Amino acid sequence: MSASRGKRAEEIFEAAVKVFYERSYADATVQDVADEVGILKGSLYHYIATKEDLLFWLFEVVHEQVEAIKVAAEAATELHPLQRLQLYVHGQVEYNLSNIQQISIYYHDLGLLGPERAAYVRAEARAHNDFAVRTIKEAQAQGEADASLDPQMLANCMFSTIVWTYRWYREPGSSEGRAARAPTADLCTAFALRGLSARST
Amino acid sequence: MSASRGKRAEEIFEAAVKVFYERSYADATVQDVADEVGILKGSLYHYIATKEDLLFWLFEVVHEQVEAIKVAAEAATELHPLQRLQLYVHGQVEYNLSNIQQISIYYHDLGLLGPERAAYVRAEARAHNDFAVRTIKEAQAQGEADASLDPQMLANCMFSTIVWTYRWYREPGSSEGRAARAPTADLCTAFALRGLSARST
């Protein structure tokens, strides 16, 4: 199943995200998604066979989109390791802030995928983790990051800053609106990069 | 409903945590919890009236326990603001690592509480947020934290480091076991405190 399948597929995808986000994946039905698109349930079955197909589609789309952020950061070999991580964190936070519904479903309903699909998602996530750990180790070797700290745990902390935005960020204009996306991504990036940096005292 | 209600109540509480964690709150039944304790469902109804009572009980217990961490950090007025936050982050991370099941349910199923109870939980969480923001502002006023950064967003980043541990920490001995609790809490605290600190360059 490919992530992009034309205009109608895109409408279905967007409707599924909205319905799963608002009603929760567990409670929502394929009928709810069909109603949201305004098509018959039978027509929806041209695109997917089960409700889980819609959920997995979301994971595929997210991974396809964040892959580009990782590739760009990895390719920026003219930058220092911490600068590559800075690029990565900023891109990932901006992506999450722009896709709060997808990211919410991603982290809430990961456990509801079947074992094979869950393994696929874990492998995709592992590639991001491996990039982070590898680059943190480079930064440690160059004295930019504290070599006494476990690089895997530092990567976990870095991902915390990226991921948890989906639980606290509110779009400006909503009742809890606090900040626009760009300055929020700037601040999260500053926080995570200071966290990774070697202590100067 | 008080958080502590004797030995049998404690058994029921522990059984509910285990069952909700393993089967998910949405899928688990009061019968599952009674079976886990090894009592009749009717006996369980001496303690609670609905499944949601069991869920809310968990929120009460968590809040009662983390309240002590906040109170101790607030009371340490002999310390600098960032040191008080250090005490707080370390205590909170240690608590989370020791109570992964409760914390997982807390963050996964918060949305399944009724509106009044959800408002109670939000108020409890807000008290922690207010402590953090107030103390970050103090640190900014004393030049310990970068005064150009929004204190509320810095608090959100700090809480990310605390909370997200429940998704990545694995007890040593499990197949993914990586580190014991104390050094993990030390590292998370170092990461978050560096994140909050004023840039020295």
As for the ipTM of the complex, it is 0.91
Contact across the interface for A150 and B108, Cβ inside 8 Å? no
CA dihedral in degrees (B157, B162, B166, B169; nearest 10)?
Answer: 110
What is the 8-class DSSP label of residue B197?
B
Question: Which residues between 154 and 183 in chain A have a beta carbon less than 8 angstroms from any beta carbon of chain B?
Answer: 154, 156-157, 159-161, 163-165, 167-169, 178-179, 183
Q: What crossing angle do the helices spanning A100-109 and A81-98 adopt, rounded to 10°?
A: 100
Reported as a single tens digit per residue, the pLDDT across A17-40 is 999 999 999 999 999 999 999 999
Distance of alpha carbon B8 from alpha carbon A1, whole angstroms: 51
Model pTM above 0.90:
yes
Q: Measured between alpha carbons, how far is residue A41 from residues A25, A45, A46, A73, A142 in Å?
A: 17, 7, 9, 42, 57
3-state secondary structure of A172: strand
Asked if A178's CB is within 8 angstroms of B153's CB, the reply is yes
A118 touches chain B (CB under 8 A): no
User: Considering CB atoms only, which of B24, B108, B197 is closest to A194?
Assistant: B197
**pLDDT computed for residue B2 by the predictor:** 46
Placement of tokens 């360059």 in the chain:
B201
- In terms of Cβ atoms closer than 10 Å to its own Cβ (0-12, 13-18, 19+), residue B155 is buried
pLDDT tens digit sequence for B135-177: 999 999 999 999 999 999 999 999 999 999 999 998 776 655 5
Inter-chain contact B190–A149, Cβ cutoff 8 Å?
A: yes
What's residue B64's pLDDT?
Answer: 94
- CB B186: neighbour CB atoms within 10 A? 16
How distant, in Å, are the alpha carbons of B24, B41, B72 from that of B9?
A: 21, 14, 28
Please say whether the beta carbons of A3 and A14 come within 8 A. Answer: no
The residue-averaged pLDDT of B17-23 equals 95
Chain-wide mean pLDDT for chain A? 92
Q: How many CB atoms lie within 10 A of CB B58?
A: 22
In Å, what is the CA distance from B10 to each residue of B44, B47, B186? 12, 11, 31
Return the C-alpha torsion angle B130, B133, B139, B141, nearest 10. Answer: -100
Q: Which residues of A touch B159 (CB under 8 A)?
A: 164, 168
CB contact at 8 A, B56 and B113:
yes
Domains of chain A (ranges plus CATH)? Answer: 51-196 (1.10.357.10)
- Percent of chain A predicted with pLDDT > 90: 86
State the pLDDT confidence band at A198, using cuts at 50, 70 and 90: confident
Question: Which range has the worst mean pLDDT, A11-25, A149-163, A173-187?
Answer: A173-187
CA–CA dist B172, B152 (Å, integer): 34
pLDDT the model gives residue A1: 41
AA letter at B166: Y
- φ and ψ at B197, to 5 degrees? -70, 155
Nearest to B158 by CA among B177, B182, B179, B139: B139
* E-assigned strand segments in A36-152: none
- Chain centroid to Cα B172, Å, comes to 21
Please tell me which residue of chain A has the smallest CA distance to B109. A108
Lowest mean pLDDT among A117-126, A178-187, B22-31: A178-187
More confident residue, B60 or B1: B60
Handedness of CA A139, A141, A145, A151 (dihedral sign): positive
Does the structure show a pLDDT above 60 at B15? Answer: yes
Does residue A150 belong to the interface with chain B, where contact is any CB pair within 8 Å? Answer: yes
- Quick check: B45 pLDDT over 90? yes
pLDDT at A171 over 90: no
Which residue shows structure tokens 């626009």? A180
Q: Is the pLDDT confidence value at A194 over 80? A: yes
Angle formed by the axes of helices A6-23 and A100-109, to 10°? 60
Backbone angle region of B113, left / alpha / beta, with phi > 0 → left and psi within -120 to 50 → alpha: beta
pLDDT value of position A180: 83
Q: Are B63 and B9 in contact (CB under 8 A)?
A: no
pLDDT in tens, A53-103: 999 999 999 999 999 999 999 999 999 999 999 999 999 999 999 999 999
Q: What percent of chain A has pLDDT over 70?
A: 93
Q: By mean pLDDT, which of A43-47, A174-178, B23-27, B64-68 is the weakest? A: A174-178
| pLDDT at position A179 | 58
